[in-house]
Structure 1
């Protein structure tokens, strides 16, 4: 009888090892397409070397803003994407099949409204009757920040003429003084300031400073890809810890990859959303507040249920 139990246990172990082994082999042959904005996430991973030895293949897909990045995720051209709070909500409204799988924490000073150094605009209230360029598209963190600043200053949104322009085009126009007021985020924000731009209002007290990693529903439905995404998120956490402990090394790699001056890179990386962690209940509540306010203000055409677009099982908090 004991020998029979031994054989049953051995058979059970073999049946369990089979699927696990198949999953490991599948993950080794899996390629994740990692969506990025302005090279920021790639710089973090290359500086920290956190992807070395990953049990999956990967390649980077870089975009200048969240709008084209989520367009790529909508068409299944990327498996993961990184963006601020409102762009994720806007993508969900646009029926991008995604789930929020991780949170990144930055600083609200990483975006703001910038004007020309000799601009007569001295405060947000001066924007009344003026044109403001917003990057990158409707539903961006810059639009949310601008609307918050206008409300704070008692300026009605309809009293300001908004134009939505992608960051690289807007950067060229700002540098050539074709536009005066620009609502924008890093790295373009830091570059504009480095070139002499003046801050009218930053995101402090308005924006959550939260960013998120999303994974496509198709990637999460594939067992090997889901496992690879989970592994990638663990490495994201380690990369963030490395960046906090090695700020100068991180800034130097960022400068090399983006070809920005080291001093500008130091500013950007010091306030970048590098800390990565599992999505918490507090994150869901904070993002829901953004969703509700954005629906109220007409930034989004409808209210998004944040919990419904979040998958907290992919990256679970440590026990």
Structure 2
């Protein structure tokens, strides 16, 4: 007999896996290894003061933090171990958090919406500054399409439920079109790139570093980016239980991320060289992407949560999440 809990769990899995294509403006799906089976992760361990388990993706500041080892050095004197767990995308990271295998992670602005709709118990603990130029709608260089308005009736590839999905909706609205005016083609970045290069779709909505790669390698032309439309914000999230029990550890983590951000902002070429062998892109391409990245951890504000609420309402209206949700319920209460 199917219970109400079974129904909720099934719906949560469907929401999260349905949004799995929605990377957080971070991971390179074509070069990532599968998620390893979780061992030893359980919900009761989420308040452990002797370790912090960090979910990360191959592209982003957590990779730089991991490579530099500064967090481990800071926490070693207190006997706190740092465990790094790699994920291919934000939705899977949030699924790992929900399973009790991850204490904290970094994701983009849309996966948390799907996770909250799927009843994953997390809180927002900080965010990076907006990086609106880090995602865009691109067309082939020789395409006759010059404006978003000319996408009417055209095939547009993108990850369903991802940050760029929100960008596309906002760009269409600005151009006087609706979501129904285009033919959406839901593809992962690797498949979307192939379709784009082969001419199977008219446009591709994508984020860095894929965006930088298609610009440099295939001379793709941007018809709109996030400027004036979306923020493209990166968020730090934590399991609510861990955030409540271990605020000091989370604050230490955010301070170390901020320090790495400050260093990275002034050493883009060095960061690009560090990331290049890890993500499978040349350093010059990564430099383009890194120069469009936001740097510096910021606290979650009322305005930030209001922006997330706009995203939630947008996807609710598109019936990609069921009903309404209140983003403020996922705010970290530190006192």
Q: TM-score range by the shorter chain?
A: 0.7 to 0.9
Inter-CA distance 197–144: structure 2 relative to 1 (3 Å threshold): same
1:36 to 41, 56, 60: 56
The worse-fitting range, judged by mean Cα deviation, of 38-47 and 106-115 is: 38-47
| Cross-structure match for 1:16 | none
- 1:93 is displaced (CA, Å) by 0.9
Deviation at 1:147, TM superposition (A): 0.5
> Compared with structure 1, are the counterparts of its residues 91 and 54 closer, same or farther at alpha carbon in structure 2 (3 Å cutoff)?
same
Give structure 2 stretches of 5+ with no counterpart: 1-47
Over 3 Å counting, the alpha-carbon distance change for 1:297 and 1:163 in structure 2 is same
| Counterpart-to-counterpart distance in 1, 2:97 and 2:185 | 25
1:128 aligns with 2:139: no
Contact kept in structure 1, 2:72 and 2:81, CA below 8 Å = no
RMSD over aligned CA atoms reads 2.4
Q: Distance in 2 between matches of 1:185 and 1:85?
A: 13
**Residues 251 and 265 of structure 1 are in contact (CA less than 8 Å); yes or no, is this contact kept in structure 2?**
yes
State the Cα distance separating 1:155 from its structure 2 match.
Answer: 1.4
Matched residues, number: 283
- 1:268–1:90: structure 2 CA closer, same or farther, 3 Å change rule? same
Gaps of 5+ in 1: 1-25, 315-319
Q: State how 1:1-319 maps to structure 2 within 5 Å.
A: 27=49, 29-32=50-53, 34-46=54-66, 49-55=69-75, 56-135=80-159, 137-138=160-161, 140-195=162-217, 196-221=219-244, 223=245, 226-313=247-334
42-51 vs 252-261, greater mean Cα deviation:
42-51
**Residue 252 of structure 1, CA deviation:** 2.1
- 1:14 counterpart residue number: none
For residues 118 and 151 of structure 2, the distance between their equivalents in structure 1, rounded to whole angstroms, comes to: 30
Q: CA deviation at 1:46?
A: 4.3
Pick closer, same or farther for the CA change 1:155–1:167 going to 2, 3 Å. Answer: same
Larger Rg: 1
Q: What TM-score results when the alignment is normalised by the length of structure 2?
A: 0.76
- Structure 2 Cα separation of the partners of residues 229 and 108 of structure 1: 27
- 1:108 to partner: Cα distance: 0.2
The 2-side partners of 1:185 and 1:237 are apart by: 23
Paired residue secondary structure (1:276): coil
